[in-house]
Amino acid sequence: MAALLLFQTASPALAEHGRETAEPEITEDSRPVSVQLEELLLKSSPFEAVEGFASYYASRFNGCRTTSGHRYNPEKMTAAHESLPLGTIVRVVNPATQQEVHVTITDRCASKSFHFIDLSRAAAKKIGLWGKGRIKVVIIPLLEEKLEKPV
């Protein structure tokens, strides 16, 4: 009886049949695992998200060797950046449309006075950049991976 009394005083939202009517409280642990993992990656990243501009590789670079030694393939999700370590996975977000893509840095691009990333054709299409030349984006480095040696 004391346990029932304690439960009733601790839980004021009881229905007439003794069941709770209040919605369960959403705690931090009830978020989807993918959201928790992404937040953990963002917190553990030594890099910060920055606003910048994105463009895409010209078709004349198809098959050319990149700085990492791999050949540029316009259908792969890759990119060039002036300073991020090769192998870094980066999320690029188009803030105008909220479209985003994850790319791996495999090449270097020319140094600019502003943050800049050069995307593969497939990545450019995925965020609505294809055919526009360049757009403003948010560049979010997620993690650094070791690139495989080129074949």
User: Could you tell me the residue ranges of all domains in the chain?
Assistant: 47-144
Q: What is the DSSP string of 14-52?
A: B-TTS-B-SPPPP-GGGS-HHHHHHHHHHHH-SS--EEE
Distance from C-alpha of 86 to C-alpha of 28, rounded to nearest angstrom: 34
> Which top CATH class is 47-144?
mainly beta
Query: In this predicted model, which residue has the larger pLDDT, 128 or 32?
Result: 128
Q: Please write the tens of the pLDDT for every residue from 84-121.
A: 999 999 999 999 999 999 999 999 998 887 889 999 99
**Buried b / exposed e along 99-137 (16+ C-beta atoms within 10 A):** eebebbbbbbbeeeeebbbbbbbbbbbbbebeeeeebeb
Mean per-residue pLDDT for 136-143? 89
Q: Name the average pLDDT for the chain.
A: 77
Look at the pTM and tell me if it is higher than 0.75.
no
Query: In this predicted model, which residue has the larger pLDDT, 83 or 151?
Result: 83
| Residue 10 binned pLDDT confidence (cut-offs 50, 70, 90) | very low
Mean per-residue pLDDT for 126-146? 87
